[in-house]
């Protein structure tokens, strides 16, 4: 170990229970102070210290107030983007599903993914802790999304598929969240998760960390966490170089902790893999930027007509 390495023993690791974190960054993406560490026991990357559930809730309440100034309708571009994302998820999972399945999304946002599943014939619903867009979701999109907290739901096996899209990195304890999700899923049911991929990585080192992402997963640490909470990997839809992890798990009875200190070295290597130049010159990055630019242009031109048509359709359905 380097002599200038800073070690922290303040928080207990949410994955392995270890208490030694090696500091890997002390700045966030806006160059403000934020301590990030890697657990030397399992490679999990997290804030030091990890904020409590209450601190996380207070942060979101404040952030939404700042970002949306009490607006109750999401922008048309935001709706169109969320809708296309929901359709992509549906298409990705469709071959594994049957329409008898009860689908439930945790952190459903505007509700577009829930609605996309419902329109395909699934019994689909969800919860979203933020209230701001809830009236829009229910009254205009007509999606079944309740303003409830995950931990307030009765811990009974109710759903065949639970979706967690870019939410797991925001929990104060992903172990607590996945344990509750395990309770909510029927025997042999599925759990589908998407989150940023630290192993890709999804940004250059100086832009990697920010307060809202309490945890930064690699495919290995995400699989270890799922296994610990009673899930086995069924399918991985994105490869190691993709900026997002997309994984489908199945609920199993066995819960086992399968971690290795060697993962800490892999997590550290991943964080430092790209500098600004090599990051932006990756062929995969350039390809994705071009696709993204086109989709921004498309959103700019078509969002208004798209959302108008979508809402008309959703309102006719019920
Ligand atoms: Zn750990």
Could you read off the pLDDT tens digit of each residue along the chain, which spans 318 residues? 444 466 665 679 999 999 999 999 999 888 899 999 999 999 999 999 999 988 988 887 777 666 666 677 888 888 999 999 999 999 999 999 999 999 999 999 999 999 999 999 999 999 998 888 888 999 999 999 999 999 999 999 999 999 999 999 999 999 999 999 999 999 999 999 999 999 886 666 777 888 889 999 999 999 999 999 999 999 999 988 888 999 999 999 999 999 999 999 999 988 877 655 565 666 667 777 777 777 777 777 788 888 888 999 898 865
Distance 273 CA to ligand 1 centre (A): 21
Ligand 1 center to 280 CA (angstroms): 31
Q: Is 153 within a domain? A: yes
Measure 57 CA to ligand 1 centroid, in angstroms: 24
Residue 225 Cα to ligand 1 middle (Å)? 10
Question: What are 204's two structure tokens?
Answer: 């250059």
Distance 163 CA to ligand 1 centre (A): 25
Distance 13 CA to ligand 1 centre (A): 5
Task: Tally Cβ neighbours within 10 Å of residue 6.
Answer: 13
Burial zone of 155 (CB within 10 Å; 0-12 exposed, 13-18 middle, 19+ buried): exposed
Residue 210: exposure state from Cβ atoms within 10 A (0-12, 13-18, ≥19):
middle
List, as own/partner pairs, every contact residues 48-51 make where C-beta atoms lie below 8 angstroms and the sequence separation is at least 24, other chains included: 48/8, 48/10, 48/11, 48/21, 48/23, 49/8, 49/10, 49/11, 50/11, 50/14, 50/172, 50/173, 50/214, 51/172, 51/211, 51/214
Domain total of the chain = 1
**β 159-165/102-106 pair status:** parallel
**What separation in Å is there between the alpha carbon of 102 and the centre of ligand 1?**
34
Cα 17 to ligand 1 centroid, rounded to whole Å: 6
State both tokens at 224. 């270890």
- What pLDDT sits at residue 235? 97
Question: Which pLDDT score is estimated for 301?
Answer: 75
CATH of the domain at 298: 3.40.50.150
Ligand 1 centre distance from Cα of residue 191 (Å): 23
Q: Give the SS3 label for residue 191.
A: strand
Distance CA 246, CA 237 (A): 5
pLDDT for 70 equals: 65
- Rounded to the nearest whole angstrom, what is the distance from the C-alpha of residue 40 to the centroid of ligand 1? 6
Print the domain residue range for 80.
7-313
> Is residue 1 assigned to a domain?
no
What's residue 6's pLDDT?
Answer: 67
38 C-alpha vs ligand 1 centroid, how far in Å?
Answer: 8
Sign of the Cα pseudo-torsion (143, 114, 121, 89, in order): positive
- Within a domain: residue 135? yes
Is 2 among the domain residues? Answer: no
Query: How far does residue 153's CA lie from ligand 1's centre (Å)?
Result: 28
Question: How far away, in angstroms, is 39 Cα from ligand 1 center?
Answer: 5
Residue 30 Cα to ligand 1 middle (Å)? 27
In a domain, 318, yes or no: no
**Structural domain contains residue 152:** yes
Please report whether residue 101 resides in a domain: yes
Strands (E) across 93-144 are located at 102-106, 123-127
Ligand 1 mean position to 19 CA, how many Å?
7
User: In this structure, is residue 113 part of a structural domain?
Assistant: yes
CA of 252 to the centre of ligand 1 (A): 22
Q: Residue 199, CB half-sphere, CA atoms under 13 Å: how many?
A: 20
Do the Cβ atoms of 181 and 106 come closer than 8 Å? yes
């Amino acid at each position: 170990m380097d002599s200038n390495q800073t070690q922290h023993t303040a928080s207990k690791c949410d994955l392995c229970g270890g208490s030694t974190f090696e500091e890997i960054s002390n700045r966030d993406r806006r160059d403000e102070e934020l301590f990030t560490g890697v657990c030397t026991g399992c490679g999990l990357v997290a804030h030091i210290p990890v904020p409590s559930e209450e601190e996380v809730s207070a942060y979101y309440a404040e952030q939404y107030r700042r970002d949306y100034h009490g607006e109750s309708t999401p922008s048309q571009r935001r709706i169109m983007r969320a809708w296309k994302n929901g359709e992509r998820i549906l298409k990705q999972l469709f071959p594994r599903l049957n329409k008898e399945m009860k689908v439930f999304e945790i952190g459903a946002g505007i509700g577009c993914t829930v609605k996309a599943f419902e329109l395909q014939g699934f019994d689909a619903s969800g919860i979203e802790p933020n209230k701001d867009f809830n009236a829009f979701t229910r009254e205009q999109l007509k999606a079944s999304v309740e303003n409830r907290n995950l931990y307030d739901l009765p811990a009974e096996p109710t759903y065949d598929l639970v979706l967690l899209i870019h939410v797991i990195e925001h929990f104060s304890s992903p172990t607590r969240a996945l344990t509750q999700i395990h309770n909510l899923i029927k025997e042999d049911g599925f759990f589908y998760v998407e989150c940023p991929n630290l192993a890709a990585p999804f940004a250059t080192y100086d832009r990697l960390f920010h307060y809202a992402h309490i945890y930064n997963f690699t495919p290995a640490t995400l699989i270890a966490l799922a296994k610990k909470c009673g899930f086995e990997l069924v399918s991985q839809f994105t490869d190691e170089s993709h900026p997002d992890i997309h994984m489908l798990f199945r609920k199993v009875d066995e819960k086992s902790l399968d971690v290795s200190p060697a993962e800490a070295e892999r997590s550290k290597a991943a964080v430092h893999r790209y500098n600004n130049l090599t990051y932006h010159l990756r062929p995969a990055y350039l390809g994705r930027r071009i696709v993204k630019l086109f989709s921004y242009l498309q959103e700019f031109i078509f969002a208004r007509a798209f959302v108008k048509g979508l809402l008309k359709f959703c309102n006719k359905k019920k």
